Amino acid sequence: MKKFLVLTIALTTLVACQNETDTKPVLTAKIDVQDGTKVYYSAMTDEGAPKAVDTATVKNGNFSFDLEEADYQTLSILSLEGNVQGNVLFINENEKIDATIYKDSLRNSKLKGGKNQQLLSDYLTFIGEQGEKANELGKKFRDPNLRNDPQMAQSLQEERARLTKQENEYREKLIKDNPNSLVSILVLSDMIGMNINPNADKQALYNSLSEKAKNSPSGKKIQQYLETNKNISIGSKAPNFTAKTPEGKDLSLNDALGKITIIDFWASWCKPCRIENPNVVKLYNEYHDKGLNIIGVSLDKASQKDKWLKAIEDDKLTWQHVSNLEYWNEPIAKLYKVRSIPATFILDENGTIIAKNLRGKMLDDKIAELLD
């Protein structure tokens, strides 16, 4: 990567007369641990792996690091020796950083530095708060009485949809407002990892980044991902596949197409899938005669085929089903880049993907829009 020329000859002469320690960015930190405790400073490489940079020893509750010169911005990591779990993330952007490290809760440590460090701190705080809300919601989903209370299940699905929408809007705004920030790239990587937006949306967000951000190692990886996943983006023809039905017969996607088709990735062991099933059953019963087809793709294991068949029967999933029974190695899931379930792809009569990953009321509304 080419370095920007940031110093004129005159300015270089001025800096040469100064003490080097006055100009080099430093991270200084306070921490309540025993003197002599070692702290490790690492930086993420172009290959996406941490590289050890330096080690410091705590003295009088303090430690410091001279930071490496960063051409752009570098995601860096602090960790402690011993059994301290987790680490502290920070952005090296050639700015001084003051930190207060909490050994019992590293993720809640406070770091004050440049604007990109503040952006990262704000993002991590937001994600932590959203995670707590998701955990509380998860407890409600695990209520054993939930399957007998469709109204409560629907309410929880809507609450989860609102939470997801809030997170998406926050991430999208952060990226659009900060096109030259490494944090925007990290946030977009999060969105890709969670598969929560159509590829076209991710491409638009990527296009909004500065050239400097796009040409960073992380930026180039995102563009490579987007290119690779074009075939399962909204507006693309859904890749055809063939697999065995529960009866052992071959069934292809092309043979299962209706006026509207849902490819439903699920598994008997997946609680959110099983909770969602009554909603999908209701939807199928209401719209099958109007042209709605569903093909379920299970991520069950070969050793648990009986559980797959029992779940189909117990949940009254009367549509077509296929699976290679290879768990997360399911070839169809890999073809569609499915990393979490439940996952859905909605196709038109020509097999073109027109929506993805809708559940609950959002799925109901979309099918009603298409078939009513």
3 three-class SS = coil
Instruction: Please state, in angstroms and rounded to a whole number, the distance separating the CA atoms of residues 224 and 89.
Output: 25
**Is pLDDT at 18 greater than 60 in this prediction?**
no
Instruction: Please state, in angstroms and rounded to a whole number, the distance separating the CA atoms of residues 288 and 300.
Output: 26
Homologous superfamily of 242-371 = Glutaredoxin (3.40.30.10)
**Is pLDDT at 20 greater than 50 in this prediction?**
no
| Domain range annotation of the chain | 18-113, 116-228, 242-371
Digit-coded pLDDT (tens) for 205-251? 999 999 999 988 889 889 888 887 777 878 889 999 999 999 999 99
Task: Please choose, from the candidates 364, 353, 212, 207, the residue with its C-alpha nearest in 3D space to the C-alpha of residue 281.
Answer: 364
Pairing of strands 353-356, 97-101: unpaired
CATH 2.60.40.1120 for domain 18-113: yes
Beta pairing partners, 242: 252
Helices within the chain (DSSP H only): 9-16, 115-141, 150-177, 182-194, 199-207, 211-214, 217-228, 253-256, 271-287, 305-314, 331-335, 360-371
Digit-coded pLDDT (tens) for 129-146? 998 998 888 888 778 887
DSSP-based helix, strand, coil % in the chain, nearest 5 = 45, 20, 30
Digit-coded pLDDT (tens) for 240-280? 999 999 999 999 999 999 999 999 999 999 999 999 999 99
Q: Whole-prediction pTM value? A: 0.63
In DSSP notation, 92-130 reads ESSS-EEEEE-TT-GGG-EEE-SHHHHHHHHHHHHHHHH
**Is pLDDT at 9 greater than 70 in this prediction?**
no
pLDDT of the residue at 198: 63
Q: Both tokens of residue 61?
A: 């509750």
Digit-coded pLDDT (tens) for 49-105? 889 999 999 999 999 999 988 889 999 999 999 888 889 999 999 999 999 999 999
Digit-coded pLDDT (tens) for 282-291? 999 999 999 9
Task: Please choose, from the candidates 72, 25, 87, the residue with its C-alpha nearest in 3D space to the C-alpha of residue 182.
Answer: 72
Instruction: Please state, in angstroms and rounded to a whole number, the distance separating the CA atoms of residues 26 and 90.
Output: 12
pLDDT of the residue at 70: 85
Compare 176 and 69 and report the one with higher pLDDT. 176
pLDDT of the residue at 17: 35
